């Protein structure tokens, strides 16, 4: 039997992290977990430690370190802890962290020349140019885990690049497709967290409801696959069985169809692009439901439009978009702003951000991030009168 692949999993208690451990447990003869990290859910992390017996774990809050001291593994804390576990001997680093905190471990993993299975889209949105340079410079391999990007990644392997006209990402549309603009203003956080298809973390679930998640994925697709924003399209597909399509120059389409279950793209990435049997039941097309498609309504859901605009404008705009969205999402979940205020705040930040078309160093990324975070928080303190006309 060949040696097991060693896995470092960042964000092990989130939805992607739990799905990853499900795949690892099902294929335990192939994989060994060497490190885990989580932000807050120490109770679940303790259970994961008992089951998978990693050599090290990392938590973000030093106050929670004490709950793990007797678990038989090294306990690390914060950004430095994340950096240490990413640098452990491993074949694959899975980055399933939510938000901009995932950027540093993405860069560190790539610098090690390892395989990075990436679900943290914010890494690419904030620093796609730098991530691509790291892949080239250090001979690393990046395999996307997002179902849409995994679909496109796999489809592009089946055709010549010159044959591709457009990439098409699908979106479930979230829970509010049929609401009017007036009804959207009254949406409560608990309603936004009820996604009709996927079980995800709070931030990404809100992003799905505003369509910002799809906007971030458009930016991610640009950096992963090298197509301009005019060649990356979005279609609403509520059933979520088709995860991506490529449109070819002869007007034909090739689609990637699977259950809406993250274990499929995760298994594909962990097995270094080899498919494994038995992940899910067979899809029986003869009893298959209907599949519908229609264009997104960017008037009701302007976040997607803002993402396209940021992509066209340049690197600094993408950082400002991502950062202001993180702050605004948190404010909505805390009942400080309304659902429709989220894109309004983001648009105001994009109007004022320090513009820089090309950014090639991480320090400059964090400078824009810090400005955008502070300015967004300043807007929130001033109140809706500042952005209500946007």
- The CATH number of the domain holding residue 80 is 3.40.50.720
- Please indicate, yes or no, if residue 278 is contained in any of the structural domains: yes
The CATH number for 363's domain is 1.10.1740.10
With beta carbons less than 8 A apart as the criterion, state whether 172 and 198 touch.
Answer: yes
Paired sense of beta strands 74-77 and 56-59, if any: parallel
Mean pLDDT of the chain: 93
Same domain, 130 and 159: no
- Please indicate, yes or no, if residue 306 is contained in any of the structural domains: no
Same domain, 321 and 233: no
Same domain, 195 and 277: yes
- Please indicate, yes or no, if residue 96 is contained in any of the structural domains: yes
List of residues 6+ apart from 271 with CB closer than 8 A: 27, 30
Chain centroid to Cα 389, Å, comes to 30
pLDDT in tens, 257-275: 998 899 999 999 999 999 9
Same domain, 176 and 214: yes
Best CA proximity match to 21, nearest among 29, 31, 59: 31
- Please indicate, yes or no, if residue 288 is contained in any of the structural domains: yes
d(CA 26, CA 266): 12
Paired sense of beta strands 5-10 and 31-38, if any: parallel
Same domain, 140 and 194: no
Same domain, 140 and 155: no
The residue out of 117, 144, 171 marking a domain boundary is 144
Paired sense of beta strands 141-144 and 74-77, if any: unpaired
Buried/exposed 15-45: b ≥16 CB within 10 Å, e otherwise: bbbbbbbbbbeebeebbbbbbbbbbebbeeb
Predicted pLDDT of residue 388: 65
List of residues 6+ apart from 351 with CB closer than 8 A: none
- Please indicate, yes or no, if residue 284 is contained in any of the structural domains: yes
Lookup: tokens for 14: 């989130």
- Please indicate, yes or no, if residue 307 is contained in any of the structural domains: no
Is residue 46 over pLDDT 80? yes
- Please indicate, yes or no, if residue 304 is contained in any of the structural domains: no
Q: What percent of the chain has pLDDT above 90?
A: 84
Lookup: tokens for 165: 């006209």
Same domain, 172 and 189: yes
Predicted pLDDT of residue 159: 96
E strand map for 175-292: 232-236, 242-248, 253-257
Concatenated DSSP letters for 322-347? HHHHHHHHHHHHTTSS-TTHHHHHHH
Same domain, 127 and 154: no
d(CA 12, CA 68): 15
Is residue 375 over pLDDT 50? yes
Same domain, 286 and 337: no
Same domain, 98 and 34: yes
Domain with 226 in it = 146-262+269-298
Same domain, 131 and 164: no
For residue 389, name the pLDDT band (cuts at 50, 70, 90): very low
Edge-first strand listing for the sheet containing 164-171: 232-236, 164-171, 242-248, 253-257
pLDDT in tens, 138-195: 999 999 999 999 999 999 999 999 999 999 999 999 899 999 999 999 999 999 998 7
d(CA 146, CA 149): 5
pLDDT in tens, 328-348: 999 999 999 999 999 999 999
**What SS3 state is found at 73?**
coil
For residue 39, name the pLDDT band (cuts at 50, 70, 90): confident
Is residue 108 over pLDDT 90? yes
Predicted pLDDT of residue 40: 82
- Please indicate, yes or no, if residue 305 is contained in any of the structural domains: no
Same domain, 122 and 217: no
Mean pLDDT of the 343-356 span? 96
Mean pLDDT of the 296-308 span? 97
With beta carbons less than 8 A apart as the criterion, state whether 283 and 259 touch.
Answer: yes
Predicted pLDDT of residue 390: 41
Predicted pLDDT of residue 1: 44
Q: Count up the domains in the chain and report the number.
A: 3
pLDDT in tens, 196-250: 776 778 898 999 999 999 999 999 999 999 999 999 999 999 989 999 999 999 9
Sign of CA dihedral 99, 373, 220, 102: negative
Q: How far apart are the first and last CA of the chain?
A: 61
């Amino acid at each position: 039997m060949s040696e097991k692949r060693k896995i470092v999993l960042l964000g092990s208690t989130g939805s992607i992290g739990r799905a990853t451990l499900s795949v690892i447990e099902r294929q335990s003869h192939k994989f060994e977990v060497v490190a885990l990290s989580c932000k807050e859910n120490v109770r679940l992390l303790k259970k994961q430690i008992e089951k998978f017996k990693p050599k090290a774990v990392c938590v973000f809050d030093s106050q929670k370190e004490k709950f793990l001291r007797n678990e038989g593994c090294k306990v690390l804390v914060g950004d430095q802890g994340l950096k240490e576990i990413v640098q452990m001997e491993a074949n694959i680093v899975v980055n399933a962290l939510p938000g901009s905190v995932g950027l540093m471990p993405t860069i560190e993993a790539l610098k090690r020349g390892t395989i990075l299975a990436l679900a943290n889209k914010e890494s690419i949105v904030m620093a796609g140019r730098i991530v691509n340079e790291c892949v080239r410079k250090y001979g690393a391999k990046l395999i996307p885990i997002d179902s849409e990007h995994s679909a496109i990644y796999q489809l592009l392997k089946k055709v010549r690049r010159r044959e591709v006209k457009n990439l098409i990402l699908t979106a479930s549309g979230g829970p509010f497709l049929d609401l009017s603009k007036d009804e959207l203003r009254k949406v409560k956080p608990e309603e936004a967290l009820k996604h009709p298809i996927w079980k995800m973390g709070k931030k990404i679930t809100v992003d799905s409801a505003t369509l910002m998640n799809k906007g971030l994925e458009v930016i991610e697709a640009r950096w992963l696959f090298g197509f301009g924003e005019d060649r990356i399209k979005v279609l609403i597909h509520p059933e979520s069985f088709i995860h991506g399509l490529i449109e070819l120059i002869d007007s034909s389409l090739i689609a990637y169809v699977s259950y809406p279950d993250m274990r499929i793209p995760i298994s594909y990435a962990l097995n270094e692009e080899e498919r494994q049997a038995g992940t899910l039941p067979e899809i029986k097309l003869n009893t298959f439901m209907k599949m519908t498609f229609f264009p997104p309504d960017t008037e009701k859901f302007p976040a997607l439009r803002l993402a396209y605009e940021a992509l066209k404008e340049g690197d600094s705009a993408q950082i400002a978009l991502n950062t202001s969205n993180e702050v605004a999402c948190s404010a909505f979940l805390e009942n400080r702003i309304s659902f429709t205020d989220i894109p309004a705040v983001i648009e105001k930040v994009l109007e004022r951000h320090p513009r820089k078309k090309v950014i090639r160093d991480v320090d400059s990324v964090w400078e824009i991030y810090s400005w955008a975070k502070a300015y967004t928080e300043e807007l929130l303190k001033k109140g809706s009168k500042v952005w209500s006309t946007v």
